[in-house]
Structures are given as C-alpha cells and as structure tokens.
C-alpha cells in the first residue's frame, strides 16, 4: 500500500511540475494581444519573431505545437524539433520563446514509426531539424523527460507511396526525368530490384526512350521531387496494331530468352526484334524450335508491334527451318 501511495505522489508531483512549466496553447488573437503588450512593456521584438517563425515552421509541415501529460503518465507531444538521433534514441525539444522542454524519445521494435502521409518510416529517415510528434508512457525512473514511444511520427518526411504517370523527358544513369501533370518535372530513380514492363512483358532499362509514356510506382519524396521506383510500365500507343514483318536474319544477340536479333526488312531496313520469355518460336511447320537453330541469312517472319526501329515480338517463325 505504501509503495502504491508513493508512486501516486511521485506521478502527481512530476505531472504537476511538468504542467507548471508548460505554456498554454494560444489563439492567433491572443498572440497578437500579447505581442502588443510586449511592445508596450519593452520586450524584444526579435524574440517574438523567432517564436512566431518556430510555430510557422511547425505548421508548415502540418503539425502543431502541443504537450499533454495525463495523470496516468502518458505523454502526447506534437511539434517537437529533433536535436539528435543516436541508434534507437531521438532527442527533441519543444520551444515557446525562452521556455524549452527537452525530450528523450525511446523507440524499439514495437514503436509505430510513421511518415507525414501515414506510411511506414524508419529512423534512418529522421534528421536533426525535423519536426516530430510522439506518444507513450513517461519513464518515471528517469530524471529527464523520457518517453517510451508507442507512436513516433516524422512530419518533415514528406514521402509517400505513389504511382505517377507522365512522359519521359530525358534519361540518365539508371534514372530518368518524367513530366507529370500534377507535380511538374520529377526525377525517377530506379530501385535495385525494379520491374520494367512493356505490353505485359518484362523489358530492361535500355528499352526506355525519351517521349515514352510510362507509369512509375514507388516511394515519392515531395520535398526533393524524387520517386524511387520499384515498378515502371511503358504504355504502348493505342493506335498501334500488330503486324507480320518478314525479313532476313542479320544477327542474333543470344539464344536464351529473353533476347533480341537484328532483322533486315525489304533488304534495306534493319530493325531490332525483342524476343521476351513465354512467346512462341517456331519453324516452317509451326513446330517449336530454338534460337540456336537460327542462322544468318534465314528468312524470318515476326508477328508483333513496331515502334520506330524496334519490333516487340509475340510470335517468331523461321521459315527456313524445315520443321
């Protein structure tokens, strides 16, 4: 019984002291009134401007400046500014003019780490100067304001899962610039395990060209305008129609699908024929054959879609092979 009473007194005393140090959240009208009083009392306008800028910066990322500590020791803090990140520990401060409260925010595998948009985050995305909110029980054994966070949200990380559609303006090293109607020009950086497809078939980065209409899906950083894409889809021109193209085999890149070969059409135009996985490769009598059987000079017919000097094949038939 004595231990319980002692704990209650400790919590009440701690909470009372914390509340005594907390300013009351004020309305804009109150702020204007106080600023007028400060001027009449000879207070520094510089301090008022700095305090207002701090609140404006917090609101700019979508948060507010608040501190709540309930009588059961649960703390809810919004608008704290990160001062350091070390391992699983984040230190932050809430500031009202000359009044500063310093916080130690403890996290573990059970802590729900969130971005501003609500998507999952991690501490590698947290930086000094970020504005955060957190909720969890106070550590009553600590002499400092320490919270074992159940929820820790970084309002400055403006990343979200997104799928954006636009036209490629230029290509770089494993990236490209995409013109998107709602965001203007953004940079699409390809993730290590990115999937690129065209006409429901897997293709590679070299199949992307300036002017292509694509959709890119991944994590979009609204601040840097960089989308880290895990999936890219190249849209085909809806007016394109599959045709049969016939020519003379000029060169074969490889015999294992997916691959490509060079076909000379009408004895004067060279095109690249992309041969993806899963399509039919047959001989004259429509029996399955291997590209290892193809020889330079063979007559080859390709059923597929052509864009410029590239044909995406759906069927390849070598009419020079007897079977």
Domains of the chain, earliest start first: 2-154 (no CATH), 159-234 (2.40.50.140), 243-318 (2.40.50.140)
Query: How many residues are recorded in the chain?
Result: 323
- Torsion, Cα of 47, 53, 58, 60 (10° steps): 170
The encoded tokens of residue 267 equal 């004895």
Comparing 25-34, 130-139, 307-316, the range with the smallest average pLDDT is 25-34
pLDDT score recorded for residue 138: 96
Q: How far apart are CA 45 and CA 39, in angstroms?
A: 7
Burial of 227 (0-12, 13-18, 19+ CB in 10 A): buried
Q: When comparing pLDDT for 48 and 37, which is higher?
A: 48
- Confidence band of 266 (pLDDT split at 50, 70, 90): confident
CA distances from 99 to 20, 62, 64 (A): 12, 22, 17
Q: Is the peptide bond before 266 cis (omega within 30 degrees of 0)?
A: no
Question: Considering the entire predicted model, what is its pTM?
Answer: 0.50
Contacts of 85 (CB under 8 A, 6+ apart): 91, 123, 126, 127, 128
Check residue 57 and give its pLDDT.
Answer: 80
> Residue 293 is encoded by which pair of tokens?
């059987």
Work out the number of other CB atoms within 10 angstroms of the CB of residue 201: 19
| Structure tokens that stand for 29 in this block | 């009208």
Using only C-alpha atoms, the chain has a radius of gyration, in whole angstroms, of: 32
**Confidence at residue 18, expressed as pLDDT on a 0 to 100 scale:** 42
Q: Does position 136 have pLDDT exceeding 90, yes or no?
A: yes
Q: How far apart are CA 81 and CA 79, in angstroms?
A: 6
Q: Report yes or no: 63 and 3 within 8 Å, Cβ to Cβ.
A: no
**pLDDT averaged over the chain?**
83
In whole angstroms, what separates CA 154 from the centre of its chain? Answer: 14
């Amino acid at each position: 019984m004595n231990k319980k009473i002692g704990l209650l007194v400790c919590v009440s005393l701690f909470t009372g002291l914390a509340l005594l140090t907390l300013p009351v959240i004020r309305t804009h009208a109150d702020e204007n009134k106080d600023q007028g009083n400060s001027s009449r009392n000879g207070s520094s306008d510089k301090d008022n401007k700095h305090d207002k800028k701090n609140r404006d910066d917090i609101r700019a990322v979508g948060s507010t400046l608040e501190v709540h500590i309930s009588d059961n020791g649960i703390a809810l803090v919004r608008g704290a500014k990160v001062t350091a990140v070390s391992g699983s520990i984040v230190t932050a401060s809430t500031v009202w003019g000359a009044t500063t409260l310093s916080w130690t925010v403890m996290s573990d595998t059970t802590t729900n780490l969130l971005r501003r948009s609500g998507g999952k985050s991690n501490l590698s995305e947290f930086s000094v100067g970020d504005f955060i909110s957190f909720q969890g029980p106070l550590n009553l054994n600590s002499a400092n304001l320490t919270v074992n966070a159940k929820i820790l949200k970084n309002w400055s990380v403006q990343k979200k899962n997104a799928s954006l559609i636009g036209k490629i303006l230029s290509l770089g090293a494993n990236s490209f610039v995409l013109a998107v109607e709602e965001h203007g020009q953004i940079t699409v950086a390809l993730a290590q395990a990115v999937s690129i497809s065209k006409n429901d078939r897997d293709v590679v980065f070299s199949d992307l060209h300036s002017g292509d209409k694509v959709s890119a899906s991944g994590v979009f950083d609204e601040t840097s305008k960089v989308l880290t894409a895990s999936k890219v889809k190249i849209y085909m021109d809806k007016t394109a129609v599959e045709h049969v193209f016939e020519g003379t085999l000029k060169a074969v890149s490889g015999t294992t699908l997916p691959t490509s070969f060079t076909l000379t059409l009408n004895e004067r135009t060279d095109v690249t024929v992309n041969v993806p996985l899963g399509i039919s490769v047959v001989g004259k009598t429509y029996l399955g054959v291997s590209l290892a059987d193809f020889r330079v000079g063979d007559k080859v017919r390709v059923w597929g879609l052509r864009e410029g000097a590239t044909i995406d094949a759906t069927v390849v038939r070598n009419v020079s092979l007897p079977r």
